[in-house]
Chain A
Amino acid sequence: MISFELSTEQKEIHEMAMKFAKNEMMPKAMEYDEKAEMPMSILQKAWELGLVNTCIPAEYGGAGFTTQDAMIITEALAYGCLGMNTAIMANDLALLPIVIGGSEDQKKKFLTPFTESYKIAAFCLTEPGNGSDAAGIKTTIKEDGEDFIVNGNKMWITNAGYADLFVVYGTYDASLKHKGITAIVIDGKAAGIELGEKENKMGHRCSDTRAVTFNNVRVPKENILGNVGEGWKIAMKTLNHSRPMVASSAVGGAQCAMDHAVKYAGERIQFGVPLAKHQAIQMMIADMGIEIEAARLLVQKAAWYLDQDKPNPEVSSYSKAKAADMFMDVASDAVQIFGGYGYSKEYPVEKIMRDAKLIQIYEGTSQIQRLVIAKEIFSRS
């Protein structure tokens, strides 16, 4: 029953996405990184080719990808540029709660427009005072006649400056802790949304990251996902999907770093022979190969669980923790193999190493993944 063979379509999807990554993303990656500017024409083109919003089901105008397919696409796009991929992946992160927790009407209303033109979505969970401790969020969602009023500050919001739609987590009643948390869809043009300055980040610099403040933002009641108080449940289910997806981006980034390192090791001559003939370098490259493949298999397994409709938070966290830490190591070793050139912007591994660091931080830090994993393990003992 175990098969590691991709289907013919999956191979073609991979080919096509890699071609896009290599021809459209890679040549511009450094430029947009330096400018710290959203590459709108590239993102638009990616959308036209069906590379964006892979989570939208066929009923609502999506292509009908499996989770496995979506992972293949993410890995390829991240190979092209982690920052651009983050801008693309953030749409899925914001739309997944609608796919998971939305009603039929909400899915039609909110998802379908994303299949008709390139639109941008932003997921708002983290706050200035609450990152890993997400259950303690302070943003409030209060009933007011036929509407809800949203108030609060959100931090590190990807795509914020361009968002046509926000999916915001707030609390209906802070004393209820998890059970008060509610997810609500807010139109990007709603009155009372204030955007902070674009953050000046270490990596993923072309993606747009900002603080967002909601000042008495009035939202119709039908924009609540599920019921009031179901937000935490929706967020947790979202993470089952989004964590392997982020892990897959780490696999793509690491593969790219490794491919650069392998190529360079074949070209650079030291002590009269190419680097590739030196055992010290061979050990590093071999370890990259082992680690990348191990992480890729965990991503595939987590995706397989989701495609079987048996989401497994523990394996999702395995994949995220393993892939993020693996990526950081691989990127660092790639820079090491390039030596001084690797540390300069002359070669792309410098950027990849900066990009790698964020994967250990967002979508649950590597430490939080281990807390989730340990909790699952001890719950069985």
Chain B
Amino acid sequence: MANVLVFAEANGDTVKSVTFEILGKLSGHSVDVAIVGDMGSNAVADLAKFGAANVHNLKGADLDKYSPEGYGNALKEFIGSNYDYVFAGATSLAKDLMPRVAGMFDAGMASEVTNFNFDGDNFAGTRPLFAGKVLAKVELSGPKPHFVTVRPNALGLPENPTAGAGTSNEVAANAGEIKAAIREIIKGASEKLDLTEANIIVSGGRAMKSAENFKVLEELAEVLGATVGASRAAVDSGYAAHSMQVGQTGKTVSPSLYIACGISGAIQHLAGMRTSKVIVAINTDPDAPIFTKADYGIVGDLFTVVPLLKEEFSKIL
């Protein structure tokens, strides 16, 4: 049984769900959670439900907003020699922060594992490499703690989580010297989850024909609470922003549901979304390669099928 710390991010009462996935998978170990900055009391209750023994809330000057150095220094001091492993969801923040904290301990880190298990105290993870074209086993050695980030939506939520004590505890923490600080945050065009975290993605390809036509996808996404993505062809044609691109040179995603609309399924696109749990493809070309990857393939015109999908989903959601 290893001593594990899970670094979590809370937005008020809401904790990112990848944290619960990790807690569920760590059932049987002694697991604490650390959250830097403000958090709500419901967050503690939720974390306890999924198995957190102690919830440490690190607070101090300059820790009200993220900075890699401030969060890093605070965590380093808190972790000390208390933990064998530090886990975090592979979110934008943790992907930036965790390597720095690992560096502070001269420790190894496994990035974005999609599964893992412990043989006694020894961690072994599985992670995709080369944009998911291969999988490999990853193990860590060298000074402890060892660091692991977990890809959101990869583990899934536990069906019957074992509750933990969930003792909440405020820790006075020091941010230390911060050389790179956030001056302001400019909100994105979309309030939606980032593609890499989204549970459902509706993506459009070259057949969208124009940027305006993406409205059709946005309407469906609205009903599903999904994030809209795009193929490289659509991005290159100027129909969608770079930040929406799914694929080898865009984002690698693994949502529960990926709806590909008018995407032919070029190799570089498939590389970015093949790990999606369920793929729905809509295309007029029955031989489009996307259909070889689709769990449900609809041969038809996206401009008629997508509005029908929206209608049908809004009946049941």
Binding site for B on A (CB under 8 A): 27, 267-269
Contact = CB atoms under 8 A, between A and B. Distances in A.
A361 to B, nearest CB: 35
B248 to A, nearest CB: 15
Nearest to B237: A27
A267 B236 CA distance: 22
Interface in B235-261: 236
A269 B236 contact: no
Contacts of A27: 236
A27 B289 CA distance: 21
A269 B287 CA distance: 7
A269 B292 CA distance: 10
Nearest to B264: A267
B236 A268 contact: no
A27 B237 CA distance: 10
Contacts of B287: 267-269
Nearest to B291: A269
A339 to B, nearest CB: 11
Interface in B289-304: 289, 292
Contacts of B289: 267
A177 B292 CA distance: 67
6 contacts: A27-B236, A267-B287, A267-B289, A268-B287, A269-B287, A269-B292
Nearest to A263: B267
Nearest to A268: B287
Interface of B: 236, 287, 289, 292
A267 B288 CA distance: 8
Contacts of A269: 287, 292
A260 B82 CA distance: 58
B292 to A, nearest CB: 8
Q: Would you list the 6 A-B pairs with minimal beta carbon distance, nearest first?
A: A267-B289, A268-B287, A269-B287, A27-B236, A269-B292, A267-B287
**Residue from the set A27, A267, A268, A269 with the largest chain B CB neighbour count within 10 Å:** A267
A267 B289 CA distance: 6
A80 to B, nearest CB: 16
Contacts of A267: 287, 289
Contacts of B292: 269
Nearest to B236: A27
B24 to A, nearest CB: 39
A267 B290 CA distance: 10
A27 B232 CA distance: 13
A286 B16 CA distance: 54
A63 B236 CA distance: 33
Contacts of A268: 287
A270 to B, nearest CB: 9
A63 B11 CA distance: 59
A213 B289 CA distance: 53
A267 B267 CA distance: 10
A269 B236 CA distance: 27
B209 to A, nearest CB: 15
A268 B287 CA distance: 7
A269 B286 CA distance: 10
B287 to A, nearest CB: 6
B286 to A, nearest CB: 10
B77 to A, nearest CB: 48
A139 to B, nearest CB: 47
Contacts of B236: 27
A186 B236 CA distance: 43
A328 B287 CA distance: 28
A57 B292 CA distance: 53
A86 B292 CA distance: 40
A45 B287 CA distance: 37
Nearest to A267: B289
A267 B286 CA distance: 12
B61 to A, nearest CB: 49
Nearest to A27: B236
A373 B236 CA distance: 48
B84 to A, nearest CB: 47
A22 to B, nearest CB: 12
A27 B236 CA distance: 9
A49 to B, nearest CB: 21
A266 to B, nearest CB: 9
A27 B287 CA distance: 23
A267 B264 CA distance: 11
Nearest to B289: A267
A224 B196 CA distance: 67
A268 B264 CA distance: 12
A268 B289 CA distance: 8
A268 B292 CA distance: 11
A269 B265 CA distance: 14
A216 to B, nearest CB: 51
A268 B291 CA distance: 11
A44 B15 CA distance: 54
A96 B236 CA distance: 38
Nearest to A270: B287
Nearest to B292: A269
A278 to B, nearest CB: 15
A119 to B, nearest CB: 31
A269 B289 CA distance: 9
A340 to B, nearest CB: 11
A27 B235 CA distance: 13
A263 to B, nearest CB: 9
A268 B236 CA distance: 24
A157 B236 CA distance: 35
A283 to B, nearest CB: 22
A254 B236 CA distance: 26
A269 B290 CA distance: 12
A269 B288 CA distance: 10
A256 to B, nearest CB: 17
A130 B34 CA distance: 86
Nearest to A269: B287
A267 B287 CA distance: 8
A41 to B, nearest CB: 16
B283 to A, nearest CB: 13
Nearest to A346: B285
A306 B236 CA distance: 42
